[in-house]
Chain A
Amino acid sequence: MIDRPSADRSPSPAPDVSPGAPATGRAATRRWIATQSRLGRRVALPAIALQTLSVALAIAQAWCVAVLLADALGGVHARDVRVWLLAFAMLGLLRGLALMLAERRAAAAGRAGRRRLRGILLGGLLAQGPALLRGHASGELAALAVDRIEALDGLFARWVPAASLALLGPLLVLLAALAAQPYAALVLLIAGICVPFSQAVFGIGAARAAARQFVALSRLQARFLDRMRGVSTIVLAGRAADEARALGIAAAELRRRTLRVLRVAFLSSAALDLAMVAALVAIALHDGAALTRAGAAPATPLGVARSLFALLLVSEFFAPLRAFALAYQDRMHASAAAETLVGLPAPPDAVVLPEGGEHMPPAIRTVQAHGVTVAFEDVRFGWSAHRPPVLDGLSFRVPHGETLIVAGPSGAGKSTVIELLLGFIRPQSGRITLNGAPIESIVPEALARMTSWIGQGPVLFAGSLGDNIRFARPEASEAELEAAVRDSGLAEVVASLPRGLATPIGEGGFGLSGGQAQRVAIARAFLKNAPLLLLDEPTAHLDPVTEAHILRCLQRLAINRTVILVGHSQAVHAFSGRRIDLAPRTRPQVA
């Protein structure tokens, strides 16, 4: 939605926030999964190593069992039977420990993967700033950062280790079989080759069918979620019974279609079963035949042990393959989440300070002491190259301590002026200066420190009322906080609250009225005490009585500060100062 400025003088161009190009969708998702798997493998290495170790231990145990059983069959018990039993027990203990540790390491890998992705995502969100909210709903983004990333656990904790073990495990078993019983090794090798081959034959089928099943299921879930969210709309329209019936029908239809697809998908699992049973039967019959042929000479205990060993190896050979097939589900979940993650824009490059001191902003203290002078010089800005610019050649100058009122109809670019001053967007041409320094040369932290902003209603964070005001300056003293509460007219509100400043507000807390919330915003501005005050229709959603109260507070706040006020109603009349009217632009067809 925001195009890169054509005349790019700024070190930090506005990010491209177009909501994902669909053409690159599937390939990008696959690439993303591949990258994540690679990164995940590094973290999952301990888990993979432990799992491989447990396969090796299982092989050793199988040998113990085979030797012991062959011994029993031979009827002559070797003297070291106890050693073999002890070895079996010890190996079992070790294997159990290895499996337990592997599971814990895999879970840790899952957490590490999620922590990394969430960190990147949150960092990206914070770096993009509010511009991001133009293209994405906040609820959607939150679901992405919490639930979607949680859903990726399976990718890092199960899929990545399972994918590695599906190669290493059977390979290890195969080598063991080769040493003991070449025929069995051959059978296992053929079965092992058949597995991926059969997967490919049945369909590419299988993978695609599973994907479709997953998509169908998530669609049903989405439909259900949608209807639940709108349940009151349905109830009030008197259509609850109809909608319940429709949900049932949609689910039945989905079931029929999904099962048709699953019939094919399950063939690939059946192929895995077939390979295992065939290997088992083939080895048993072959060795049996060998034993009867050699009927004249009784089988040596070693030969019998080798045959039993080979039989026992079959299930060890297929176990990692089955785990792999199970983990495929986790990969499906991951690619669903990945589609949305890939669509998100990358965080913009860090702001680079220009070389040399000539454009360096004056130190913050100096700015505060002298106030801020704001100037626009021939500023031009458009949200998109396809539409006419919102601001075209805007120039003005506001000396420190004075007020500028920006008026004009909706869409004329009033709020754009504020966004430019907040540094959220950059003009395509022209200059914006604060005390003579170009705005893009000021470090964002420094710009943030010299500006206060009050919009139509503040965001109240989950926490106490006091925390919410302190948000402006966490290090503020109690006395400063009290002064801000007094100056913003919040003192009465605080007195009326059950727990005063400690009353929780925001999500899940005590609800504040629009006027009270606006007072919190004013208290924040008092506490922050910044020399430049930007007011963006601060009373737009208030009833007239409350509006008058708020305006009085704002007038007090404005004293000795440079103020830029955007608004159209009473607010404009409450402030005296220079006024510019922005010309209306062609309005969008319907609001």
Chain B
Amino acid sequence: MVQQTKTGWAPLHRIVLLWRPQWPLMAAGLVVALAAGLAGLAVMSGAGTHLAGLVVASEGHAPSHDIAALAVLLATPALMRLTGLARIVLRYAERLVTHSATFRALAGLRVWLFAGIARSAAGGLGFLRSGDLLSRLVGDVDVLDGLYLRLVVPAGVALLSFVVLVATLVAIPGVPAALVAAIALLFVAAAVVGPVLAARAGLHAGPVLNETVAALRVAVLDVIVGLREIRVFGAEGRMRAMAQSRESALFAAQAGLSARLAAAGLAAFLCGQAILLCLLAAAVGWAPFAVPPLAAIAMVFVAIAAFEPVSGLPRAGVMAGQMASAAGRVIEAASLPEAAPDPAVPVSLPPGHALSFDQVGFTWAADRPAVFDGLSLDIPAGRRVAILGPSGSGKSSLAALALRLAEPQSGQVRLGGVPVSALAAADLRSRFAWLGQTTHLFSDTIAANLRLQRAEADEAELWTALEQAGIAEVVRGLPDGLDTWLGEAGAGLSGGQQRRIALARVLLSRAPVLILDEPCAGLDIDTERAFLETLNTVADDRTVVLITHRLLGVERLDRIWRLVGGRATAAAG
């Protein structure tokens, strides 16, 4: 659903607009950076002219420049100390301010993306196991981290250096226009043409790099997930060769990019050398460029210092290309339209919570086969119902429709007799507690994970829920109890134990309808049986909708529906 946009630089512009609240701070950072750059130029040229001025003054045989030399002689030592100090202080301030602005911008971008994804259909994407897609988006946001710090600031400083260099040349009397023009041209070539070419290369390489790295990831994941198959079929060599060939493809793409980057760097470098060559020729009195020696020396030192920020620009250009494609993906994902927008004037929640599907026709996309075609089924309030069907029969789509993560193309889904499309999504979802195979346990404490469902629950209520889910004893046995950290760095709970924590979270909610969508996927059969037995003992007063591909025979059920060919048939009751 989220694909490479072809709009080039527009996404970067959008991101910069997004950072509007941070603009003052970013501008301040840029100003400080510019001032620091200026101070750097001043120190460098000060050192050069000081020495040169002394030479001229001491030799005294260049009378036309005596006054300038004298001024330099008097002013520069103090000026050098001052600008030197300013340079150090300003650089320090620059680092602090630009980093602070970057942190703010990053936080803003992440919160914006999260809110956008949560609002849009992408909330449904997570529901449909698109965790990988979301991970890639997170990686894209990480790429954008450097937009201000590594792109805007250096480019700004380079621009300022250009202005100062040209201004210095113009301000010094007797500098021929030809020299100014030549240097300006070379500087622009280095600071603009090289980086832009590099950025183009980066923009074009982006999709290829993404593709090749994705191919490598698929190969590596196949190797890891298929370790058993590989061993059984003696396929070690084959699989390894495949992973290596995918890696080589990635490396070839990377090598191409780095070769182009190096070439862009060479071009920029040679432009800088040409500028110096012009100034040196001018200093030694080459006719078209000839300038007074003192001025030439000042200019040489200014040029050396001014060119320093330019040398990093081609690299920044490549990054800009990559950032533009990352920004395109992020913006596209965050601005996906809502699959099922709220009605303009939502109806208030009905008192009842019987769930019914009436002649529902549904497909996820126009070019995909219909999932439901005239599906009708009733789930009366307070009943325990199983919905059976082989994989691909649309069991999860059923939950998505009830929760209004998707909208049917025809027919109605009703809660308490009211079409769910007439309700506000937040109201509607307050009636449901959902536990699916993609239910996520967060890297957080057990308590925080439970309170996701009901923030105000007190500790006693947490324990009751854990008790009902049959996991209280295990949690009590953990050294940190409710404060135990879950997730990758956390306590190693087994798959079954984690599912029970998720069940406790669902039970903690006061929602009258529980939707359990393949709650035992990935568990072994005995764990599954124990989990389902626990389920029989809880939630007596609520509607339970158990969505599964097969029954073990231990479930306590009032009714069973079977999904076949996009319709539901009552199987038993």
Contacts and interface: CB of A to CB of B under 8 A. Distances in A.
Contacts of B247: 115, 118
A168 interface: no
A294 interface: yes
A514 B390 contact: yes
A104 B80 contact: no
Interface stretch (B154-162, B469-477, B535-543): B469-477
B227 A133 contact: yes
B434 interface: yes
A348 B443 CA distance: 33
Given A232-B127, A507-B218, A543-B549, A292 B226 contact: no
A233 B452 contact: yes
Given A73-B55, A288-B54, A311 B142 contact: no
A269 B293 contact: no
A423 B229 CA distance: 13
A306 to B, nearest CB: 11
Contact of B440 (A72, A230, A423): A230
B142 A221 contact: yes
A141 interface: yes
A292 B222 contact: no
Contact of A235 (B81, B123, B216): B123
Given A77-B285, A126-B240, A459-B225, A543 B390 contact: yes
A114 to B, nearest CB: 8
B118 A590 contact: no
Contacts of B43: 277, 280-281
A508 interface: yes
A234 B429 CA distance: 11
Nearest to A295: B58
Contacts of A133: 224, 227-228
Interface in B231-257: 231-236, 238-240, 243-244, 247, 251, 254-255
Contacts of B137: 228
Given A69-B297, A236-B403, A251 B228 contact: no
Contacts of A312: 304
A236 B432 contact: yes
A240 interface: yes
A95 to B, nearest CB: 8
Interface in A216-242: 221-242
Nearest to B100: A259
A299 interface: yes
B232 A115 contact: no
Contacts of A243: 114, 118
A542 B473 CA distance: 32
Contacts of B262: 100-101, 103-104, 107
Contacts, number: 414
Interface in B436-450: 438-443
Nearest to B229: A459
B229 A546 contact: no
Contacts of B125: 232
B231 A448 contact: yes
Q: Give the size range of B's interface with the partner.
A: 35 or more
Given A96-B270, A224-B114, A459 B525 contact: no
User: Most chain-A Cβ atoms within 10 A of its Cβ — which of B47, B261, B305, B496?
Assistant: B47
B514 to A, nearest CB: 12
A108 B555 CA distance: 60
Contacts of A283: 47
Given A77-B284, A77-B285, A308-B51, A231 B126 contact: yes
Interface residues of A, number: 154
A153 to B, nearest CB: 8
Nearest to B432: A236
Contact of A69 (B81, B293, B527): B293
B61 to A, nearest CB: 6
Given A69-B293, A73-B293, A100-B262, A231 B118 contact: yes
A591 B494 contact: yes
Contact of B118 (A74, A100, A229, A235): A235
B251 to A, nearest CB: 5
Nearest to B95: A266
B7 to A, nearest CB: 24
Contacts of A455: 228
A394 interface: no
B87 interface: yes
A35 interface: no
B410 interface: no
User: Most chain-B Cβ atoms within 10 A of its Cβ — which of A95, A146, A262?
Assistant: A146
Interface stretch (B12-20, B105-113, B192-200): B105-113
Contacts of A542: 550
A452 B232 contact: yes
Contacts of A473: 233
Interface stretch (B275-283, B347-355, B356-364, B374-382): B275-283
B77 interface: yes
Nearest to B266: A100
Interface in A284-317: 284-285, 287-288, 291-292, 294-295, 298-299, 304, 307-308, 311-312, 315
B168 interface: no
B567 interface: no
B434 A146 contact: no
A125 B114 contact: no
A409 B110 CA distance: 49
A145 interface: yes
Nearest to A294: B58
A119 B244 contact: yes
Given A232-B124, A311-B47, A471 B229 contact: yes
Given A241-B115, A285-B77, 17 more contacts: A64-B280, A77-B285, A118-B247, A126-B223, A141-B224, A229-B126, A270-B88, A285-B50, A291-B55, A295-B58, A307-B51, A444-B231, A455-B228, A459-B226, A540-B525, A591-B494, A591-B496
Q: Which 5 A-B pairs rank lowest in CB-CB distance, beginning with the nearest?
A: A230-B440, A251-B107, A410-B526, A591-B527, A232-B126
19 contacts: A68-B284, A69-B52, A72-B297, A75-B293, A77-B285, A104-B258, A125-B223, A225-B135, A227-B114, A235-B126, A237-B453, A240-B118, A247-B107, A299-B58, A308-B52, A311-B301, A444-B231, A448-B231, A543-B549
